[in-house]
């Protein structure tokens, strides 16, 4: 399972084996590059976490937790999640501002929790076996090796994809595999099975000015111990984000010319010039059948356009997906 996810995290990997739980993680280091390794444990190993994402208000939460007598071993947002749960229980997850998907193992209560941010930015897939084992991963392909029965293409999901151009709700392209819905916690233990609960992130902005709200959000997203870049198209949305981000840090921007707008690259370059940021432009090559196979392998829950020629290619490739 871990080998299927190596491409998600080139900066290290780790495995934790407990009596009733096994956690594995591939890391892409953004915050606390040295001591933020996962799986991470606290409280003498009674709480363990694997986590994908970023908590933008972790420094504020860290100060509050310190006032409760919590002593930290790392500078990471990962440890903040663990201690937030230790102090506030699962109700504390509503305090997390960010994009995240994580699995938290509470050894003392023999309880696992899968948690996904309220916008569903980070992916989280799961499968529950006939023996009530919970298997989860950031990508569905990593679950396949752990399933008791071979998965197949979910034809109902294919029908939804071709009609809506995306997969609604908890649907995936694989039978027996579901996505955790955004803003939900899946609780599991071997005796009682599992159940889902929703949660809402606490409101962090109190102003009404849309520009102030956008500026606050952009500033929060710049939290990192590595360089932050930005996508820059020829439109106004990304231009507004880059303009606000460049108030706080030097920003390098990136433009992908996919050929649907002849002026995309030129407009992005001109926007970068006006904003005084460096722009890197790349042009995609022509789409081939092999490229679509590769894209589907990575996307797993693709969004598609309605061009009939491409639909025929995509459908032929989906029939081969396992």
Q: Residue 311: which residues within 8 A CB-CB, separation 6 or more?
A: 162, 304
Co-location of 190 and 71 in the same domain: yes
Beta carbons of 170 and 136 less than 8 angstroms apart: no
The confidence score (pLDDT) of residue 322 equals 42
What's the CA gap between 143 and 253, in Å, rounded?
35
Nearest-5° angle of CA 76, CA 24, CA 32?
A: 15
Going through 217-308 in order, the beta strands assigned E by DSSP cover: 229-231, 252-257, 278-283
Q: What is the percentage of the chain residues whose pLDDT exceeds 90?
A: 60
Co-location of 29 and 107 in the same domain: yes
The confidence score (pLDDT) of residue 307 equals 44
What's the CA gap between 294 and 290, in Å, rounded?
6
Three-state DSSP class for residue 181: coil
Mean pLDDT to the nearest integer, 39-52:
94
The confidence score (pLDDT) of residue 309 equals 42
Report the first-to-last Cα separation within the chain, whole angstroms. 15
Split at pLDDT 50, 70, 90, the class of 306 is very low
What's the CA gap between 113 and 189, in Å, rounded?
9
Mean pLDDT to the nearest integer, 191-204:
85
Beta carbons of 15 and 2 less than 8 angstroms apart: yes
pLDDT, tens digit, 9 for 90 and up, residues 136-195: 999 999 999 988 888 899 999 999 988 888 888 899 999 999 999 999 999 998 777 889
What's the CA gap between 312 and 295, in Å, rounded?
15
Q: What is the percentage of the chain residues whose pLDDT exceeds 70?
A: 93
Co-location of 71 and 115 in the same domain: yes
What's the CA gap between 59 and 71, in Å, rounded?
14
What's the CA gap between 296 and 281, in Å, rounded?
24
Co-location of 187 and 257 in the same domain: no
Rounded CA Rg of the chain: 21
The confidence score (pLDDT) of residue 308 equals 42
Co-location of 220 and 193 in the same domain: no
Q: Kindly state whether residue 278 falls inside one of the protein's structural domains.
A: yes
Split at pLDDT 50, 70, 90, the class of 319 is low
Q: Which domain holds residue 276?
A: 210-283
Split at pLDDT 50, 70, 90, the class of 264 is confident
How many whole angstroms from its chain centre is CA 154?
A: 23
- Count CB neighbours of 102 within 10 A: 23
Co-location of 186 and 236 in the same domain: no
Beta carbons of 15 and 23 less than 8 angstroms apart: yes
The confidence score (pLDDT) of residue 19 equals 86
Co-location of 87 and 194 in the same domain: yes
pLDDT at 37 over 60: yes
Mean pLDDT, rounded, of the chain: 88
Co-location of 120 and 216 in the same domain: no
Co-location of 189 and 106 in the same domain: yes
């Amino acid at each position: 399972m871990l080998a299927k996810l190596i491409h998600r995290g080139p900066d290290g990997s780790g495995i934790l084996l407990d009596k009733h739980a096994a956690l594995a993680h591939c890391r892409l280091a953004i915050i606390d590059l040295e001591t933020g390794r996962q799986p991470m444990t606290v409280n003498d190993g009674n709480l363990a976490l694997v986590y994908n994402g970023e908590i933008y208000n972790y420094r504020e939460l860290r100060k509050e937790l310190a006032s409760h007598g919590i002593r930290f071993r790392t500078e990471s947002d990962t440890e903040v999640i663990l201690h937030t749960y230790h102090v506030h229980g699962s109700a504390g997850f509503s305090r997390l501002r960010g994009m995240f998907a994580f699995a938290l193992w509470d050894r003392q209560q023999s309880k696992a929790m899968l948690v996904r941010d309220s916008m569903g930015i980070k992916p989280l897939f799961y499968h529950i076996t006939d023996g009530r084992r919970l298997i989860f991963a950031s990508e569905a392909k990593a679950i396949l090796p752990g399933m008791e029965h071979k998965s197949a293409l979910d034809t109902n999901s294919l029908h939804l994809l071709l009609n809506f151009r995306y997969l609604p709700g908890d649907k995936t392209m694989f039978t027996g595999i579901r996505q955790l819905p955004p803003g939900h916690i899946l609780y599991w233990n071997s005796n009682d099975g599992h159940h889902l609960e929703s949660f809402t992130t606490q409101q962090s902005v109190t102003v009404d000015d849309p520009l102030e709200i956008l500026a606050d959000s952009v500033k929060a997203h710049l939290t990192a111990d590595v360089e932050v870049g930005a996508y820059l198209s020829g439109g106004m949305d990304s231009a507004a984000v880059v303009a606000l981000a460049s108030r706080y840090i030097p920003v390098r921007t990136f433009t992908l010319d996919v050929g649907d707008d002849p002026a995309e690259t030129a407009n992005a370059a001109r926007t970068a010039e006006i904003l005084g940021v460096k722009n890197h432009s790349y042009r995609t090559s022509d789409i081939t059948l092999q490229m679509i196979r590769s894209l589907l392998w990575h996307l797993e829950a693709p969004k598609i356009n309605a061009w009939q020629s491409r639909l025929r290619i995509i459908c032929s490739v989906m029939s081969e997906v396992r």
